[in-house]
Structure 1
């Protein structure tokens, strides 16, 4: 396993936590140090110049207020402003997390942590930290190539129009609706808006409305009082309150039922939330960014999406083009992903052949950038030799049913296994709905999560 070149310090008063953290993290990161004494932090920072500090919030016996954690957070940021701090505690809630983010923490972890999630958070922190340290060195290259725009890669006219719109709207507090197919980078656009806005120093709160059940919608977005329902064991702020002062990104807004649309509209109009089980309105100050791959205007005509809610969320619209409409960018993206996975899987000599690049340019990419990313990683893992060939990639049939490469997997009579049939049905559903996970899952009669598992299982 290639370890991430990142220096991490874990500070906690429990030796068991330190031991568990070190055993886990040293498998993934080059340098991992631990300390049970927060007063050693200044000396350790000076000696090692840590990229990331994973900091406990409480050190005194019986302490649960997190005051000590906030004290040391400020100390670290004063001593080493470029160090990323991630706070952890066993006594967390949403309000505490929001306060931590506003005080300068990068993220917030609850103990006991989930190993995969903790590693993912730290890898992201290391990548962001690396990006800060390399920004000056890369600035000239990025300006010369114009390949990168705050998370995007592309020089096509279609993307230039997107960049211009982002620049114009970012500095305002206007509500923005981002439209585009699955995999076109809607969340990347939302985060770019946030980073370029006057709220960049505050929280960016993402809510996937496609993953929030109707029964939990109000509790999740508006919060609840203790005892408001059976499992409400403590008072909690909702996601709207958590985003106050920053940006709220509502992804998959087209999935909301008419009843939930009405509740959301009321809150957006009044800029106040009322937690479940209370009568007290609480003001919120958010910059709203929404996204969907669904045809909202058709849904308005059909009566399945409220016209007044659409007017409320789309002061400005940004349309992200599908990859097939920005073919000038395919090579740039392919080269970028190849570079990433060459490093990740230790294959520095790997390169794309001319025939392969031609095939990538001709393919219709129903899953857009996400599909290209996944296809490149799969090809890097499975290919033999130092050149990627067309047969190292899987190309789904085009909409007219024609195959785009020789050797495209098909079902023969000898392949009538449940495994092969399941894979075929998942492929057909994804192609039919142009990579739209929600629609494909609905047609297959399974949940989005179950579909994601099958996509991973079959390497699609």
Structure 2
């Protein structure tokens, strides 16, 4: 169920406010009212209005000033100007400032008001959708984006082709960097919900309070720092797909709230009492064994059964080495085009070195390495000597751990090499569990996520 459009009516005449509130309310819209410019701006900042019906002439701040301020706050909002003293010159000024249309008062024909409002909202939502699709155009995916020729990847591709047209909940499991979000995006882009939003959030990288406000949204004043009413991801994903990565990073309290939303398909913004309906397809992902999390009391068993309708296991890159050369060439083509570089192809020696490397950061580590090589390579074929030392073994874990190997490096490179290898080793010991790695290293979890991303380990 889609959310009801919100309309803010701004007029110093009580009769006009009452008339429009009754008319628009009967048409199924949520209506807010303001008597002057300052109140209108306050309510606009605190709301998520889709349309503003704005009186041209009001005491104090006039309509054109309010229009200008509103457009500065949200250029996408639709504004219909209203006046009983309309002139062509005023209408032209309003249109230049971004007004959608102009209505003359008194409203002799309420059908005209209704049609103008419907047209403005339709065009506004169409514009929003086009803007969203344009933003996603470069990221639009097909099944071809899931690259692999190994038996394991062919099985996964066949499975997501079967799953995509359905509306069933999917649980992706695999190590960090194996491409879980890419597969989630591919499922969405090939589903009946493809024209609506794909909303992704990494549960493990956010604190409990921040994740709660991100998912549920909040009203102005709900907590310190809540200066504006903000829609959450449950609302933003309505009609589309919500992807919750590293779902084991959620607290038991938040798991209980999430289970309730999945059962009832309703939620309440923080600081609000209004229950709102939402309809999204849920895809979740985890990089640690869910059964162990349940046994340890860190994850609710009933929520696990709710999200584990269609499980998909994604193997680490080191277990499908036949995909490494294919992926490396795929990333090489992408970054050559992106960076405008005439480099490549990979030599047999370079491919052999990559296929021998462990890739603890999986596909993401390989992708980041190829981008780095393309960026630094002048031209010509890419040989093993062009690859980072830790990949070829010239500065691998054993060599780099020796103090004498660092003395040949600049300080910053030596520091980063040690840090990457140290974090990689800790992650290996805890089977990729970022929370455990944060405890062992003494690095705050949010900061550890940044380092994982920096070094291509997630």
Which among 62, 66, 78 is matched to residue 62 of structure 1? 66
Which string of whole-angstrom CA distances, capped at 9 and with x for unpartnered residues, describes residues 341-374 of structure 1? 3334443243211111111112221111111111
The answer to whether the 8 A contact 1:290-1:313 is kept is yes
Partner of 1:426: 420
Partner of 2:281: 287
The answer to whether the 8 A contact 1:102-1:203 is kept is no
Partner of 2:386: 392
Deviation at 1:456, TM superposition (A): 7.5
Q: 1:386 to 1:442 in 2, by over 3 A?
A: farther
* Counterpart Cα distance in 1 of 2:450 and 2:202: 18
Which string of whole-angstrom CA distances, capped at 9 and with x for unpartnered residues, describes residues 409-436 of structure 1? 5242584797535631431221442494
Which among 116, 122, 131 is matched to residue 106 of structure 1? 131
Matched, 1:405 2:393: yes
* Counterpart Cα distance in 2 of 1:459 and 1:178: 20
Matches within 5 A, 1:446-457: 446-451=443-448, 454=451
* Counterpart Cα distance in 2 of 1:362 and 1:380: 20
Which string of whole-angstrom CA distances, capped at 9 and with x for unpartnered residues, describes residues 141-176 of structure 1? xxxxxxx72421112211111112112121111111
Q: 1:368 to 1:67 in 2, by over 3 A?
A: closer
Q: 1:458 to 1:358 in 2, by over 3 A?
A: closer
Which among 249, 254, 263 is matched to residue 248 of structure 2? 254
Matched, 1:196 2:184: no
Matches within 5 A, 1:61-460: 62-63=66-67, 64=70, 69=76, 100=125, 103-107=128-132, 125=137, 127=138, 149-383=143-377, 386-394=380-388, 396=390, 405-408=393-396, 410=400, 411-413=402-404, 415=406, 419=412, 420-421=414-415, 423-434=417-428, 436=432, 438-439=434-435, 440-451=437-448, 454=451
* Counterpart Cα distance in 2 of 1:446 and 1:210: 14
Deviation at 1:191, TM superposition (A): 0.8
The answer to whether the 8 A contact 1:240-1:248 is kept is yes
The answer to whether the 8 A contact 1:437-1:451 is kept is no
The answer to whether the 8 A contact 2:343-2:374 is kept is no
Q: 1:272 to 1:105 in 2, by over 3 A?
A: same
Q: 1:187 to 1:459 in 2, by over 3 A?
A: closer
How many residues align structurally? 343
* Counterpart Cα distance in 2 of 1:202 and 1:189: 17
Deviation at 1:228, TM superposition (A): 2.0
CA RMSD, Structure 1 to Structure 2 (Å): 3.5
Deviation at 1:283, TM superposition (A): 1.4
Which string of whole-angstrom CA distances, capped at 9 and with x for unpartnered residues, describes residues 248-269 of structure 1? 1111101112222112112211
* Pair member with larger Rg: 2
Q: Runs of 5+ in structure 1 lacking a partner?
A: 1-56, 73-88, 90-95, 109-120, 132-147, 398-403
Q: Runs of 5+ in structure 2 lacking a partner?
A: 1-50, 53-62, 80-97, 99-120
* Counterpart Cα distance in 1 of 2:224 and 2:343: 58
Deviates more, 1:295-304 or 1:439-448: 439-448
Q: TM-score, normalised by structure 1?
A: 0.65
Q: TM-score, normalised by structure 2?
A: 0.66
